[in-house]
Structure 1
Amino acid sequence: MNLLTVQNISKSYGERILFQDLSFGVNNGQKIALIAKNGTGKTSILNIMSGDDTPDSGQVNYRKDIRVSFLAQEPNLNPELTVEETIFASDNEILKVIHSYEKALENPEDTDTYQAAFEAMERFNAWDFETLYKQILFKLKLEDLNAKVGLLSGGQKKRLALANALINKPDLLVLDEPTNHLDLEMIEWLEDYFAKENMSLFMVTHDRYFLERVCNEILELDNGQLYPYKGNYSYYLEKKEARLEQEAVEQHKSERLFKKELDWMRRQPKARTTKSKSRIDDFQTIKEKAGQRRKDHEVQLEINMERMGSKILELHKISKAFPEKTILDQFNYTFKKGERIGIIGKNGTGKSTFLNILTGKDQPDAGKVVIGDTIKFGYYTQKGIEPKEGQKVIDIIRDFGDFIPLKKGRQISAQQLLERFLFDRKKQYDFVDKLSGGERKRLYLCTVLIQNPNFLILDEPTNDLDIVTLNVLESFLLDFPGCLMVVSHDRYFMDKIVDHLFVFKGDGLIEDFPGNYSDYRVYEDSKVAEERLEKAETNKEAKITADSYTKDKRKTLSYMEQKEFKNLEKEIEKLEKKKVEIQQQFTDAGLTGEQIDELSIKLQETMDSIDQKTERWFELSAMLED
């Protein structure tokens, strides 16, 4: 079933043409990712699809009666509403029913209103939906439903907009960089969510693991043409390589044919026959094909790294805390030459604060930071570039000088350097505030690297960068001889460039893990498996111990204790059966909220009884052993 059709859309800004005559569709069940270089119109295509922008030509048609949700990079939310009010401001009918029910619960005396709200919950089967939306808010760390949107951080607003989009359970969800501002745990949960939900997706993302695990089709915008690939990211890489090889063969053939036809044209007499005129017309087409060139220029990163001495950076018993939150608790570490450290942890555990302390932007509450005399930090922050009003791209670089030193005593002009970062001479005179998000990040990366740091600190460097630029950045960092510290939720990026991890666990606990992110996930998953196995073994041993007690042993207890011991075994067995029966009742989709609460209380009481009686059983068992 077709959900969306985009027909022959074009978009340009002045003389700059982003794309022309693009057409594609989205069918039910498709999970499509749009891949393209920064500045070629990815976000413009999404804005046209959402209605926030209009194409110069062409149109977008949606199937009637389908629900569509959009997640923009910069969500437009009402700052006056709370988190809960934002959720319930949706036009989703079930959410309105849940909202009415929750309001009715606040006034239990009004029995008529409560009864009407309760019946509406039953009629729309809204109980499961209520559980789902609360689970989504919990997973995205939006537990404070009364928080004002205007007071939320940029990351919290993005997560709220994502929660809103998911809760509406749309037929089609359009996403612009959905993994930005999510920690690794949230991203992995979102991957699982999309795998289970029958939801069609159209997204722009640079997260290559996300592309691999979520998408079943890639749509690439390359040199103004759309190329579909029916598979995930690995399939796309394989087939793109084959396409480029075929294009190179075709280009070579066109060039050879052009030379042949050009010789013929030069030999032709002035008098033209009908046949020769036809061939001359064909020559123009051949000439155009032969003259086509791929614009495959890549970012060229080159710096003259400052010399690094023997002392790098030492942290001595560093502590940092905020009200009700400890970030660091007497943390010690001595950095060595060439270290490549990744930093992971949930949002709010203090990763950015830690980086600010290292670079002197923030001070610890206690402890000492000792920086080597030769160390020069290059700090790429999440805040990014902050241009002055009316500042142009070239002005940003010229603030560092008209000529920039490179390796081996060479130097390069500001204009030449910008060309290496894919800003052509015309683009260099654009205003910075007119650049796309990815172009601004690329310019910011340029300003960090031209200062020739020998200790690079990158806080979420992959946000908004296109995949081509990411690949070049990874290659550069692999060859970077200085120290490197990276905070990133891009698991592919982390796996490729870091040797070990600082894992921020919260409450001031930092674990130094020897390996990359995938190694850490395997380790964590194995720990969970071991804990389950140990629990199973403990339960098994307890059962074997229980069965092994003989009547002779029981005679060492008093008559009443022996009787209690026998009864306990039967009672525990009955309680275990009762627990299973209660748990099975939770699967009934027709349960009301009150019934669920009652069952929860019964289940907890039963489990408490099992614990008490089991503890007494072990107490009597110990007396037998004595």
Structure 2
Amino acid sequence: MSTLIAAENLGHAYHDEWLFKNLTLGIQTGQRVALVGINGAGKSTLLKLLAERFSPLEGKIVKNKFVKIGFLDQEPSFPDGYSISDFIFSLENKQQQLIKAYEELIEDPNPDEKTLNRLYEELSEHNAWEYEHEIKTILSRMGINHLQQQISTLSGGQKKRLALAKLLIEDPEIYVLDEPTNHLDIDTIEWLEKLLTSGNKTILLVTHDRYFLDNVCNTIVELDRGKIYNYSGNYAYFLEKKSEREASDESTFHKNKNLLKKELEWMRRMPQARGTKSQARIDAFYDLEGKTKQRSDNQSVTLNVKMARQGNKILELDHIGQSFDDKKIINDFTYTFKRADRIGLAGKNGTGKSTLLNIITGYLNPEKGKVSTGDTTVYGYYKQGGLAFNEKERVIDIVKSDAEYIKMADGSMISASQLLTLFLFPPKKQHGMVEKLSGGEKKRLHLMKVLMQNPNFLILDEPTNDLDIDTLNVLEEFLENFPGVLILVSHDRYLLDKMSEQLFILEGNGEVTIYNGNYSEYRTSLDIPKEKPPVKLTKSDSIDAPIASKKLSYKEQKELDDSEKRMHDLEISIDKLTKSLLKIDNKNYLEIQSVTEKIQSEQKELDVVLERWLELSELK
């Protein structure tokens, strides 16, 4: 494999603080690399440097001048006055210009037939029909249908999808993607996974989506306190090796600390007139002191704010109906919320998830039906768009504007500054301006302000966007122990699986279907043949009625038995391969790659066998 792009001794600072120095990193052909690290570590900055969006303060980026880099920014910018068509189709690409002219013409209610026939012939002449189909598929998947629409009229999510669509159409040698799954629905994310893993694409991305990370990437690069750590393998392998490294770092730190105490005593006892013989030891002391100061104790977010008392009546939705521009968004939906309900909202973009949340929280009065809220219900609503912070305001003043002291779950009171520290905002950041925070740090501040309200009915609308994985892990821990009602809107399948016990599925035609189970169970149910639809039980349904069984044929019974044995063999093999992966030296990339690919191959086979086993078991 050849190296397509490399960073050599890279150093960059932001607001007079070094994010990293002497950083070296290489991306090879066919590598699909996930860059991970806490918010504020410099991940987005490193992506922009590698994509040559600006130059580093130190070091250099090395690549072949003919290698094309496609960069997806967290918040893409566009030329003024451009339509979607102007942006998507490149002037230098003859095929794209023909496709642009053809697509614009067929949008016209009265197209000129002569021009249409000429374009048809030219598209055939340039073998562009297959390419036109690919472009239309990508645009359709991204929800882009009206090419003449001005980009300035699009929402932030639509702009992100438009930028991603252009990058996929261009198919560069290197994909550099900053949070590519933000603003995509789950169906589109699963389609994108397949597209990015087809062929031999070279990818560097930042994502919080652990299923996406595991399914797409074969290398993990961690950016931690200005240093790079490489892990060849999937996310589970990275976590294993990271814990080993941190245990080693902890041991080394304590050894250095003890040695530093002894050396400090020696330095204090030593006479003022130091001889040349001692100079090496003096230099070693200062080097050891620097290493010990660099190390900061691992911190974790502790989310244990007090929850307001919850009464018997929480929230009742009675025959709710809502439409916009004659389109039904919600049609005759009824539900009574119960204590400890854990509900995930699922549905494609534009099916009405935000509308339903706005009705629940009282931001929107429904056209039909009645919303009845309990007297003790306290909402905590984390909105996808975030809060509009004053960029010139200090972080601590934003928190103090709500409360100087906050009551915790154990009844103790802590100051605003102490709460910020728990949320990984050290004193220096607390007294700094909001404009100096990264996108993820601003989201973390928003989440903190929501939880400060001591809600007992928590609504999280895409909470995972731009948060680092470490913060997500602790947020999940908090949600697992949260005793109130939780409604979760997320394209993060891992989070939906872990946190929801029931789904409200918005079908897009006004219907809201209630499904008892998590997202993966719901997706599995969709794959069961249509003639045998899955039985959905609501809590009011009886489960006592006997279910008629069907006798399998000899061939089906044998297939069922063979499936069970094959699943057992595959599980044992995958377990052995995973354990062997942990023993391979990090530098032996080829062996790691070979074992990783074998694990992925056997896991795919296991999924297929399991799916067939479920079908046969259902028939039986």
Length-normalised TM-score, structure 1: 0.79
Letter in 2 for 1:109: K
Instruction: From 497, 521, 532, give the equivalent of 1:519.
Output: 521
Deviation at 1:324, TM superposition (A): 3.8
Q: Is the 8 A contact 1:44 1:53 kept in 2?
A: no
User: Which one of 394, 399, 406 corresponds to residue 404 of structure 1?
Assistant: 406
Match of 1:3 in 2: 4
- Amino acid of the structure 2 residue aligned with 1:12: A
SS of equivalent residue, structure 1 residue 385: coil
* Range moving further from structure 2, 49-58 or 448-457: 49-58
Report the Cα distance in structure 1 between the residues aligned to 2:268 and 2:224, rounded to whole angstroms: 35
Look up the SS of the partner of 1:387 in the other structure: coil
Shift of 1:174: 0.8
Larger radius of gyration: 1
> 1:122, CA displacement in angstroms?
3.3
Task: Tell me: CA distance 1:90–1:435, structure 2 relative to 1, closer, same or farther (3 Å).
Answer: farther
Cα deviation for residue 348 of structure 1 reads 0.5
- For residues 456 and 527 of structure 1, do their structure 2 counterparts lie closer, same or farther at Cα, with a shift above 3 Å needed? farther
Q: Which of 104, 114, 128 matches 1:109? A: 114
Contact 2:98/2:122 (8 A) holds in 1: no
The one of 157, 160, 163 aligned to 1:158: 160
Amino acid at match of 1:179: T
Q: What secondary structure, in the 3-state scheme, does the structure 2 residue paired with 1:314 have?
A: strand
Q: Which residue of 2 aligns with 1:310?
A: 312
Measured in 2, the distance between the counterparts of 1:197 and 1:141 equals 24
Cα 1:509–1:101, aligned 2, differ >3 Å: closer, same or farther?
closer
Shift of the alpha carbon at 1:325? 2.1
CA distance in structure 2 between the aligned counterparts of 1:88 and 1:529, rounded to whole angstroms: 44
Bigger mean CA offset, 230-239 vs 520-529? 520-529
Change (3 A) 1:512 1:90: farther
Residue in 2 that maps onto 1:425: 427
- Determine helix, strand or coil for the equivalent of 2:284: helix
Residue in structure 2 matched with residue 65 of structure 1 by the alignment? 66
Provide closer, same or farther for how the CA distance between residues 31 and 254 of structure 1 changes in structure 2, counting only shifts above 3 A: same
Tell whether the 8 Å contact from 2:15 to 2:436 is kept in structure 1 after alignment: no
Q: Provide the secondary structure at the position in 1 that maps to 2:114.
A: coil
Equivalent residue for 2:251, pick from 249, 252, 270: 249
Tell me by how many angstroms 1:68 deviates: 1.7
Q: Write the distance in 2 (CA, Å) between the matches of 1:517 and 1:290.
A: 46
Report the equivalent of 1:451. 453
Q: Counterparts of 2:478 and 2:64 in 1: how far apart (Å)? A: 46
Equivalents in 1 of 2:176, 2:141: separation in Å? Answer: 20
CA contact (8 A) 1:35 1:221 kept: yes
1:101-500 residue pairs with structure 2 within 5 A? 107-109=112-114, 114=118, 118=121, 121-123=124-126, 125-259=127-261, 261-262=263-264, 274-388=276-390, 390-500=392-502
Cα deviation digits, residues 357-391 of structure 1 (max 9, x gap): 00000011111111111110011111211124632
Instruction: Say whether residues 1:87 and 2:88 are aligned partners.
Output: yes
Question: What is the letter of the counterpart of residue 6 of structure 1?
Answer: A
Once the two structures are superposed, the pairs formed by residues 29-40 of structure 1 within 5 Å of their partners are 29-40=30-41
Alignment partners' CA distance in 1, 2:115 and 2:504: 55
Q: How does 1:609-620 map to 2 (within 5 A)?
A: none
Hey, what's the Cα distance between the residues in 1 that align with 2:295 and 2:114? 76
So what's the TM-score if we normalise by structure 2? 0.80
8 Å contact kept, 1:101–1:114:
no
Query: Are residues 138 and 9 of structure 1, via their aligned partners in 2, closer, same or farther at CA, if it must alter by over 3 Å?
Result: same
Aligned equivalents of 2:160, 2:458: Cα separation in 1: 28
Query: What do residues 132-184 of structure 1 show as CA deviations (whole Å, max 9, x unaligned)?
Result: 11111111111222222111121111111100000001111111100000000
Shift in CA distance, 398/270, structure 1 to aligned 2, threshold 3 Å: closer
Output the amino acid matched with 2:35: L
Could you tell me which amino acid in structure 2 is paired with residue 122 of structure 1? E
The whole-number CA distance in structure 2 between the counterparts of 1:229 and 1:524 is 36
User: In structure 1, what is the Cα distance between the partners aligned to 2:24 and 2:347?
Assistant: 41
Counting only pairs closer than 5 Å after superposition, residues 39-58 of structure 1 correspond to structure 2 as 39-58=40-59
For the 8 Å contact 1:104–1:114, the answer to whether it is kept is no
| One-letter code aligned to 2:118 | Y
Matches of 1:42 and 1:272, distance apart in 2: 45
Quickly say closer, same or farther: Cα 1:97–1:296, change in 2 above 3 A.
same
Assess, with a 3 A threshold, how the Cα gap between structure 1 residues 19 and 366 changes in structure 2: closer, same or farther.
same
Q: What amino acid maps onto 1:4 in structure 2?
A: I
Aligned to 1:596: none
The answer as to whether partners of 1:98 and 1:121 remain within 8 angstroms in 2 is no
Decide whether the 8 Å contact of 2:394 with 2:431 is kept in 1: yes
Alpha-carbon displacement from aligned partner over 1:456-515 (angstroms, at most 9, x marks no partner): 011111111011111111111111111111100011111121111111111111111111
Alpha-carbon distance between aligned partners in 1 of 2:114 and 2:275, rounded to the nearest angstrom: 99
Q: Which has the higher mean CA deviation after the structures are superposed, 447-456 or 81-90?
A: 81-90
Task: Say how many residue pairs are matched.
Answer: 528
Structure 1 contact 301–476 (Cα < 8 Å) conserved: yes
Structure 1 residue identity aligned to 2:85: E
Instruction: Letter of the 1:127 partner, please give it.
Output: W
Report the 3-state secondary structure (helix = DSSP H, G, I; strand = E; otherwise coil) of the residue aligned with 1:37.
Answer: coil
- Alpha-carbon deviation of 1:261? 4.5
Alpha-carbon shift at residue 66 of structure 1 (Å): 2.1
Unaligned runs of 5+ in 1: 532-626
Distance 2:489 2:292 in 1: 46
- The whole-number CA distance in structure 2 between the counterparts of 1:489 and 1:79 is 31
Report how far residue 239 of structure 1 moved: 1.2
**Secondary structure at 2:476's aligned position in 1?**
helix
Q: In 2, Cα distance between the equivalents of 1:298 and 1:510?
A: 38
Does 207-216 or 276-285 show the bigger shift?
Answer: 276-285
Instruction: Tell me the CA shift for residue 529 of structure 1.
Output: 9.6
